Amino acid sequence: MRITVKELHNLVWSMPMTSVAEKLRVSDVAVRKICVKHKIPRPPQGYWQRQHRKGEVSAINHGIAEKIIVINSPTAEVTVATNDVYEFPKAVSALLEKGVSTRLSNGSKVCMQAMEKGYPDRYGFLRLRQDVPRRVLVTKAALRRAYLLSDWLYQLAPLLDFNIKPQKKLSGNAAFALEMNSISIDVTIKERVTRRAIPLKERRDRYGPEFDFLPTGELSILYEGTWGASQTVSDTKSLLLEQQLHLVVQKLIKCRDLSFVKSAEFRERRRSYQLQRREVVREKLIADYADQRRRNFLAMKDEVQTNRSMVDFLTSLGAQKHPNLGEEFNAWLKWANEEFTLPELFIVQRHNEQDLEIVRQLEVLKDVLVEDDSYPWPD
Assign 125 a pLDDT band (cuts: 50, 70, 90): low
Long-range contacts for 374-378 (Cβ within 8 Å, ≥24 apart)? 377/278, 377/281, 378/281
Residue type, 185: I
pLDDT attached to residue 77: 34
Which has more confidence, 287 or 27? 287
Q: Is the pLDDT of residue 111 over 60?
A: no
Query: 128: which strand partners?
Result: 118
pLDDT attached to residue 84: 46
21 half-sphere exposure, CB direction, 13 A CA radius: 21
Lowest mean pLDDT among 76-85, 142-151, 257-266, 285-294: 76-85
pLDDT attached to residue 245: 93
Assign 362 a pLDDT band (cuts: 50, 70, 90): very high
Three-state secondary structure of the chain: CEEEHHHHHHHHCCCCHHHHHHHHCCCHHHHHHHHHHCCCCCCCCCHHHHHHHHCCCCCCCCCCCCCEEECCCHHHHCCCCCCCCCCCCHHHHHHHHHCCCCCCCCCCHHHHHHHCCEEECCCCEEEECCCCCCCCCCEHHHHHHHHHHHHHHHHHHHHCCCEEECCCCCCCCEEEEEEECCEEEEEEEEEEEEECCCCHHHHCCCCCHHHCEEEEEEEEEEEECHHHCEEEEECCCCCCHHHCHHHHHHHHHHHHHHHHHHHHHHHHHHHHHHHHHHHHHHHHHHHHHHHHHHHHHHHHHHHHHHHHHHHHHHHHHHHCCCCCCCHHHHHHHHHHHHHHCCCHHHHHHHHHHHHHHHHHHHHHHHHCCCCCCCCCCCC
Q: Is the pLDDT of residue 76 over 80?
A: no
Give 162-213 pLDDT, tens digit per residue: 998 765 444 444 468 899 988 999 888 887 777 666 665 555 555 555 556 6
- What's the average model confidence in pLDDT over 77-105? 70
88: left (phi over 0), alpha (psi -120 to 50) or beta: beta
Which has more confidence, 1 or 217? 217
260 vs 31: CA distance, rounded Å: 18
CB 152 within 8 A of CB 184: no
145-184: b or e for each residue (b if 16 or more CB lie within 10 Å)?
bbbbbbbbbbbbbebbebebbebeebebbbbbbbeeeebb
Q: Is the pLDDT of residue 51 over 90?
A: no
- What's the average model confidence in pLDDT over 108-125? 56
Question: Cα angle at 215 between 211 and 220, to 5 degrees?
Answer: 140
- What's the average model confidence in pLDDT over 41-61? 66
Assign 145 a pLDDT band (cuts: 50, 70, 90): confident
Judge if pTM exceeds 0.85.
Answer: no
- What's the average model confidence in pLDDT over 53-73? 55
pLDDT attached to residue 78: 33
pLDDT attached to residue 278: 92
Lowest mean pLDDT among 217-221, 252-256, 270-274, 320-324: 320-324
Assign 133 a pLDDT band (cuts: 50, 70, 90): very low
306 vs 228: CA distance, rounded Å: 67
188 vs 175: CA distance, rounded Å: 6
Give 262-288 pLDDT, tens digit per residue: 888 888 999 999 999 999 999 999 999
pLDDT attached to residue 79: 33
Q: Is the pLDDT of residue 303 over 90?
A: yes
Give 221-239 pLDDT, tens digit per residue: 999 998 889 999 999 888 9
In the chain, what percentage of residues exceed pLDDT 90? 32
Q: Is the pLDDT of residue 148 over 90?
A: no
Lowest mean pLDDT among 119-128, 173-182, 228-237, 252-261: 119-128
CA distances from 85 to 22, 118, 144, 196, 247 (A): 12, 38, 31, 41, 10
Lowest mean pLDDT among 18-27, 182-191, 203-212, 356-365: 203-212
162 vs 111: CA distance, rounded Å: 14
pLDDT attached to residue 17: 81
Highest mean pLDDT out of 150-159, 329-338, 351-360: 351-360
CB 53 within 8 A of CB 236: no
Which has more confidence, 133 or 52? 52
